[in-house]
Amino acid sequence: MLTVHHLENSRSQRILWLLEELGVSYDVKRYERDKESNLAPAELKAVHPLGKSPVIEDNGKVFAETGAMIEHILDAHGQGLLRPSAGTPAFDDYRYWLHAAEGTYMPPLVFTLFMNRIETAPMPFFAKPIAKKIAQSIREGYLNHTMKAQYDFLEATLENSPWLAGDDITAADIIMSFPVEAFVARGGGEEGYPNIAAYLMRFQARPAYQRALERGGPYALMK
């Protein structure tokens, strides 16, 4: 039996969705975030040394890193689903987005989260203007134009097809779901991104996505 070590309100929700799409039987071991730090609890380190989620156990072996887990699950349990045939243009698109999700799209989102926390963190009154100035400089000098370029590109990609690798959903759409949801949750999709908005509604309406929410528990994106 495959076991998912699943942290509430986290990117590990995507692994549950993948398994639901494939119809794979699995167990879920849920973890709550630390109330003070909002980080994963220490007991996850007993599963994997980095103490992060998601982590899966399958046939006695532990797998970490979302992209690697997705590839393992498709290799071991996919039966040809959710991945285009190798050597096709669709497969090239699939592989690009599978890696772009964590390699390109997530780092600026995480950086934005830290900037938000710096701006709102308790500090002496005289330090607040300095912290806000530093955060503003980082936003204007890097984050804003980087994220605009990334999501403009995603918007243009979705102009041509309903899914990232063509007419059928793939695991690339599943791994990209979190960057899309986080972008929209933080106000990034309020205007100028109708294709991304429609894409979000399309994947959230899938029955397998809804079943994954039921299995996973709380799923509120951090801002």
Q: What is the CATH number of the domain that holds 172?
A: 1.20.1050.10
Say what the pLDDT of residue 180 is.
Answer: 97
More confident residue, 177 or 117: 177
Say what the pLDDT of residue 130 is.
Answer: 72
Question: Per the domain annotation, does 137 fall within a domain?
Answer: yes
Question: Per the domain annotation, does 219 fall within a domain?
Answer: no
What's the total number of domains in the chain? 2
Among the listed residues 110, 82, 75, 64, the one whose alpha carbon sits nearest the alpha carbon of residue 18: 82
Q: What is the mean pLDDT of the chain?
A: 91
Residues 69 and 105 placed together within one structural domain of the fold: no
pLDDT of residue 84 exceeding 60: yes
Domain end (from 35, 51, 82) = 82
Please tell me the distance from the alpha carbon of residue 53 to that of residue 25, in angstroms, as a whole number.
Answer: 19
Residues 125 and 179 placed together within one structural domain of the fold: yes
pLDDT digits (tens, 9 = 90+) for 120-178: 777 787 667 877 787 788 778 888 899 999 999 999 999 999 999 999 999 999 999 99
Residues 15 and 47 placed together within one structural domain of the fold: yes
Residues 69-89 have a mean pLDDT of 97
Q: How many CB atoms lie within 10 A of CB 131?
A: 15
Residues 78 and 15 placed together within one structural domain of the fold: yes
Domain end (from 82, 112, 140) = 82
DSSP secondary structure code for residue 32 in this structure: P
Question: Per the domain annotation, does 163 fall within a domain?
Answer: yes
Residues 94 and 199 placed together within one structural domain of the fold: yes
Among the listed residues 171, 186, 172, the one whose alpha carbon sits nearest the alpha carbon of residue 221: 186
Residues 126 and 43 placed together within one structural domain of the fold: no
pLDDT digits (tens, 9 = 90+) for 94-105: 999 999 999 999
Question: Per the domain annotation, does 128 fall within a domain?
Answer: yes
Domain end (from 82, 97, 114) = 82
Q: In angstroms, what CA-CA distances link 84 with 69, 87, 219?
A: 17, 9, 29
Residues 100 and 202 placed together within one structural domain of the fold: yes
Question: Per the domain annotation, does 126 fall within a domain?
Answer: yes
Residues 35 and 101 placed together within one structural domain of the fold: no
Residues 6-24 have a mean pLDDT of 94
Band the pLDDT of 223: cuts 50, 70, 90: very low
Please tell me the distance from the alpha carbon of residue 135 to that of residue 129, in angstroms, as a whole number.
Answer: 10
Residues 27 and 12 placed together within one structural domain of the fold: yes
- Lowest mean pLDDT across 2-6, 85-89, 145-149, 183-187: 183-187
43: containing domain: 2-82
pLDDT digits (tens, 9 = 90+) for 44-64: 999 999 998 999 999 999 999
Band the pLDDT of 29: cuts 50, 70, 90: very high
Question: Per the domain annotation, does 45 fall within a domain?
Answer: yes
Instruction: Say which CATH number the domain at 51 has.
Output: 3.40.30.10
Is the pTM value of this prediction over 0.85? Answer: yes
Say what the pLDDT of residue 118 is.
Answer: 73
